Amino acid sequence: MRGPSLPTRRKLFPYVLLGPGLLWLLVFYLVPSLTQSYVSLESGNLEQGYTFSWAWHTYSDAISSYGDQFARSFGYAAVSTVLCLIIAFPLAYYIAFKSRRKNLLLVLIVLPFFTSYLVRTIAWETILADDGWVVHALQAVGLLSDDGRLLATRTAVIAGITYNFLPFMALPLYVSLEKIDRRLIEAAGDLYASRFTAFRKVTVPLALPGIFAGSLLTFIPAVGDFINAQFLGTSRQYMIGNVIQSKFLVVTDYPTAAALSFMLMFVIIAAVLLYAKALGTRNLTEAAI
């Protein structure tokens, strides 16, 4: 029996390549998502059991009860993403254009990942402690009052998020900047553009794919983070991730936890689409090419 013809095999080849990825998403994303959507519409408790009752009120009750945590999560994540961009862009620019030890600096960027995320956050808890050197140094120069503190504050939580997710911003930026053809910047200079103008008109637009990717890789996990708020803040700094974690593992209120998870996912998707539209997907494509 003859097998498929060559044109048929060529048509099927892309689907063969997509198969493993699609299977992975089906098993580990779509099926759990459908399961949790079913759970979010249940009512009851762990002792008496849960029954499916189309409990749409769970969503409205969840957002009315935990709206502050939602707003706080997106606020902290947005500020941390901006701080990561401010810190990472000069670093990535230096590595891509100026440094002769690129590999060493890239290793130093990813070096924190050799340590557990939890351990890194606990280390920040020690660094920002009331009797730590950071607090004493800030008090000595007058940036912090004698009875002031950093730990258990909003500043500590944002600092922890920024530190932990900084590599997710730096690496895409470096890749994007490294791909820039240096002759384009030289051509801008030949056309009497200043360094700042060449940077603004040439470098930044060509770095947009890295800015976009780094922002997403930083913002999305930062919104759902709960480790930094738990160890570096108090209940007044808790984010929506802390609420979901507590509802799933402590309170065992599975419908509310699932509803909060879905609302968080939908809001993030909407925010990403708006961000992509504001940044310009056409500009991203042209810059990537």
Here the tokens at position 12 are 């099927």
Percent of the chain topping pLDDT 90: 58
pLDDT at 99: 84
Instruction: Kindly indicate the confidence band of residue 288, based on its pLDDT and cuts at 50, 70 and 90.
Output: very low
**How far apart are the C-alpha atoms of 274 and 19, rounded to whole Å?**
30
Alpha carbon 94 to its chain's center: 23
The number of domains in the chain is 1
Is 148 within a domain? yes
- CA torsion sign for 62, 64, 66, 72 is positive
What's the token pair of residue 72? 């706080």
Is 74 inside a domain boundary? yes
Residue 56 lies in a domain: no
Q: State the pLDDT confidence band at 226, using cuts at 50, 70 and 90.
A: very high
Whether 2 maps to a domain, the answer reads no
Residue among 71, 60, 69 at smallest CA distance from 240 = 69
CA pair distance 52, 56, nearest whole angstrom: 11
Between the alpha carbon of residue 217 and those of residues 172, 280, 287, the distances in Å are 9, 18, 19
Q: What is the mean pLDDT of residues 161-179?
A: 94
**pLDDT tens-digit readout, 32-65:** 899 999 999 999 888 888 899 999 999 999 889 9
In the chain, the DSSP E strands lie at 42-45, 49-52
Beta-bridge partners for 44: 50
Say if 42 falls within a structural domain.
Answer: no
Tell me how far apart the alpha carbons of residues 222 and 205 are, in angstroms, rounded to a whole number.
25
- Say if CB 189 and CB 268 are below 8 A apart: no
Q: What is d(CA 248, CA 129) in angstroms, rounded to the nearest whole number?
A: 30
Question: Which residues share a beta bridge with 50?
Answer: 44
**Coil, strand or helix at 208:** helix
Does 155 fall in a domain? Answer: yes
Do the beta carbons of residue 4 and residue 230 sit within 8 Å?
A: no
DSSP state of 200: I
Average pLDDT over residues 196-219: 92
- Domain membership of residue 22 (yes or no) is no
Give 144's pLDDT tier (boundaries 50, 70, 90). Answer: confident
Q: What does the alpha-carbon distance between residue 268 and residue 177 come to, in Å, rounded to a whole number?
A: 27
Residue 37 included in any domain: no
| Alpha-carbon gap, residue 204 to 185, rounded angstroms | 11
Q: pLDDT tens, 78-136?
A: 999 999 999 999 999 999 998 888 999 999 999 988 989 999 999 999 999 988 888 98
Give the per-residue pLDDT at 281.
55
Percent helix, strand and coil across the chain, each to the nearest 5: 75, 5, 20
- Domain range for residue 255? 65-288
Element (H, E) at 58: helix 57-65
pTM above 0.85, yes or no: yes
Domain containing 264 — which CATH number?
1.10.3720.10
Residue 182 has a pLDDT of 87
